[in-house]
Amino acid sequence: MEFHPSKIPIFQTFDVKDEKQASDIAHEMVMIGFDKENKGFKVLMPKEDKTAAKRIGYTVTTTVTYALRKTNQERDVRYWTFHENKDHQTEGIDHHRYAIVFVSSRVLEKLDFSW
């Protein structure tokens, strides 16, 4: 079976509208922890405004790395960006969005995903 990040089990999904919210949820993900559950996190971003989506994605990824470093946690977190559509659904959420899935490398190994 071919690997796709939408197949990773998700602990929590965040629907992000702006950069401020992106920073807040990045800190929230770090506080929850990437190794506590054998699941990842999904961040959904608006597809209508591509520039805003890029800024949100950049803010989330850099803030996660920064917050992990500041809290002395392992920074071995993998992430993938993809188009969320009806084939990769999160229940109850508009599926015309970009998505980023974050997961710890250890969790990825435990889930036995290979690519």
| Structural domains in the chain, sorted by start | 7-110 (3.30.110)
Q: Which residue has the tokens 């470093």?
A: 69
Q: Where are the alpha helices (DSSP H) in 1-115?
A: 19-32, 50-70, 105-110
pLDDT band at residue 21 under the 50/70/90 scheme: very high
pTM of the model: 0.85
Contact between residue 20 and residue 48 where contact means Cβ atoms under 8 Å apart? no
Average pLDDT, the chain: 87
Q: Which residue has the tokens 């920064």?
A: 66
Over 70: is that where the pLDDT of 115 sits? no
Q: Annotate 18-40 with b (16+ C-beta within 10 A) or e (fewer).
A: eeebbbbbbbebbeeebeeeebb
Number of H helices, E strands in the chain: 3, 4
pLDDT (tens digit, 9 = 90+) per residue, 67-84? 999 999 999 999 999 988
